[in-house]
A = this chain, B = another copy of it.
Amino acid sequence: MEARDIRLIEVKEGILAESQVLAGKLRERLRGTGTFMLNLMSSPGSGKTSLVLRTIDALRNELRLGVIEADIASTVDSEKVAARGVKVVQLKTGGFCHLDAAMVSEGLDAVGPQDLDLIIIENVGNLVCPAEFDTGAARNAMILSIPEGDDKPLKYPLMFSVCDVLVLNKMDALGVFDFDLRAVEQRVRVLNPAIRILPASCKTGEGIDAWIGWLRGEVRAFRNG
Kindly identify which residue among B5, B44, B152, B154 contacts A127, using a CB–CB cutoff of 8 Å.
B44
Q: Which residues of B contact A147 (CB under 8 A)?
A: 45, 145, 147-148, 170, 173
The interface size bin for chain A is 35 or more
Identical copies in the complex: 2
Stretch at the interface among A29-37, A70-78, A210-218: A70-78
A85 interface residue per 8 A CB criterion: no
Q: A106-B1, A125-B127 are in contact. Are A152 and B45 (CB under 8 A)?
A: yes
Taken together as a complex, chains A and B put the C-alpha atoms of A129 and B126 apart, in Å, by 10
A83 interface residue per 8 A CB criterion: no
Q: A126-B126, A128-B124, A147-B173 are in contact. Are A155 and B74 (CB under 8 A)?
A: yes
Q: A43-B45, A74-B155, A125-B127 are in contact. Are A4 and B8 (CB under 8 A)?
A: no
Closest to A157 in B: B73
Q: Can you list, as one digit per residue, whether each of A112-141 has a CB less than 8 Å from chain B (1) or not (0)?
A: 000000000000111111001000000000
